[in-house]
């Protein structure tokens, strides 16, 4: 009896470990930010509430396809991940999952996500989501990342798509407002990732990834972080200028942006790894708070 109980416990622990490995493939923290901005896009696209079917189906579909893209990224970069301290814990480098299991997992999850979008949302959202998947999993991961230090700038277009997907899910079209949301994330991506790359330069160099501080040096990268943060500050004001947001959003954009600029100025003038790490963490808070402020302003104006 005790032996049976021990075997059952071991089996349960093994099953739980494999589930955790598959979940890790989807990069849940990254996907949560993707889903958050997509949902914000849905709510901003309508003066009222988003229909429950659209909200649930679009959220599920976008999350599944984003998770599948992350899994493909892990598959393609398993060799790089194994050489980097930041990513060596992932399931593929540790041998917890096989490439075949990853391919099947990503295919089933991504395919089901696209099916949900096509049947319960609309074809435009499905096609845009598929294009985003290809942009991240193929264009960025396979082509751009190992080829050019501008990988983040060019590949950032895929990462900036979630609010556009959310907007298209509700309206069935892509409007100027959706493109403004796209521009915010597109401008946010370079300083966000380059602040990470600054304190992980040795990691990227060891893995042979041509990130900007590896190819052009940390001083040049610090300048680029500052310049792109200035661009981001200007772009973040566009929703107010266009009439998407009011005084509340403007105040939030200015305050959040000035704090981000303060980080960028300090990184440029008096760099330290701890400062770059703090800037990277703040960039995530910044984006979430900025989109949340736009949403609150949107409903207060009704």
Mean pLDDT of 68-80: 91
Q: Which residues of 205-219 are buried (b: 16+ CB within 10 A; e: fewer)?
A: eebebbbbbbeeebe
Per-residue pLDDT of 168-195, as tens digits, reads 999 999 999 999 999 999 999 999 999 9
- d(CA 35, CA 33) in angstroms, rounded, equals 5
pLDDT value at residue 219: 95
Q: What is the dihedral sign for C-alpha 153, 157, 161, 163?
A: positive
Find out whether 128 and 153 touch, Cβ atoms under 8 Å: no
pTM over 0.75: yes
Give the three-state DSSP class for 208.
Answer: coil
- Residue of 181, 176, 177, 174 lying closest to 159 (CA atoms): 181
Pair of tokens at residue 36: 């958050």
| Superfamily of domain covering 23-174 | UbiA prenyltransferase (1.10.357.140)
Residue 6 pLDDT greater than 70, yes or no: no
Q: Is the dihedral of CA 32, 33, 38, 41 positive or negative?
A: positive
The pLDDT-based confidence of 4 (bands split at 50, 70, 90) is: very low
Most confident of 51-65, 140-154, 195-209: 51-65
Query: What angle (nearest 5°) sits at the alpha carbon of residue 161, between those of residues 141 and 299?
Result: 150
Residue 122: pLDDT band (50, 70, 90) is very high
Q: Is residue 110 a contact partner of residue 34, using CB atoms and an 8 Å limit? A: no
**DSSP tally for the chain: helices H, then strands E:** 15, 0
Confidence of residue 2 (pLDDT cuts 50, 70, 90): very low
Domain boundaries, the chain: 23-174, 175-302
Q: What is the mean pLDDT of residues 204-233?
A: 93
Task: Report CA 211 to chain centroid distance, whole Å.
Answer: 18
Mean pLDDT for the chain overall: 91
Using the predicted structure, report yes or no on whether residue 262 has a pLDDT greater than 80.
yes
Report the candidate in 265, 264, 262, 240 with the shortest Cα–Cα distance to residue 250.
Answer: 240
pLDDT value at position 277? 96
């Amino acid at each position: 009896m005790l032996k049976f109980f021990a075997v059952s416990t071991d089996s349960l622990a093994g099953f739980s470990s494999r589930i955790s490995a598959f979940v890790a493939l989807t990069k849940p923290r990254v996907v949560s930010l993707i889903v958050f901005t997509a949902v914000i896009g849905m709510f901003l696209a309508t003066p009222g509430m988003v229909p429950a079917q659209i909200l649930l189906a679009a959220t599920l579909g976008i999350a599944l396809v984003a998770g599948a893209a992350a899994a493909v990224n892990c598959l393609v970069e398993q060799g790089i991940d194994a050489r980097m301290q930041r990513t060596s814990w992932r399931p593929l480098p540790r041998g917890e999952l096989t490439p075949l299991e990853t391919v099947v997992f990503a295919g089933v999850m991504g395919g089901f996500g696209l099916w949900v979008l096509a049947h319960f949302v609309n074809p435009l959202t499905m096609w845009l989501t598929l294009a985003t998947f290809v942009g991240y999993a193929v264009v960025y991961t396979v082509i751009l990342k190992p080829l050019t230090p501008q990988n983040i700038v060019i590949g950032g277009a895929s990462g900036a798509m979630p609010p556009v997907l959310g907007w298209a899910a509700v309206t069935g079209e892509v409007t100027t407002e959706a493109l403004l949301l796209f521009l915010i994330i597109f401008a946010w991506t370079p300083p966000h990732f380059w602040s990470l790359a600054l304190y992980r330069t040795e990691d990227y160099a060891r893995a042979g990834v041509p990130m900007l501080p590896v190819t052009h040096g940390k001083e040049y990268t610090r300048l680029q972080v500052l310049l792109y943060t200035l661009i981001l500050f200007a772009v973040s004001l566009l929703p107010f200028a266009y009439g998407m947001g009011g005084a509340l959003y403007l105040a939030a954009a200015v305050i959040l942006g000035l704090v981000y600029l303060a980080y960028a100025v300090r990184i440029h003038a008096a760099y330290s790894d701890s400062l770059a790490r703090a800037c990277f963490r703040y960039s995530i808070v910044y984006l979430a708070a900025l989109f949340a402020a736009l949403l609150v302003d949107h409903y207060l104006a009704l």
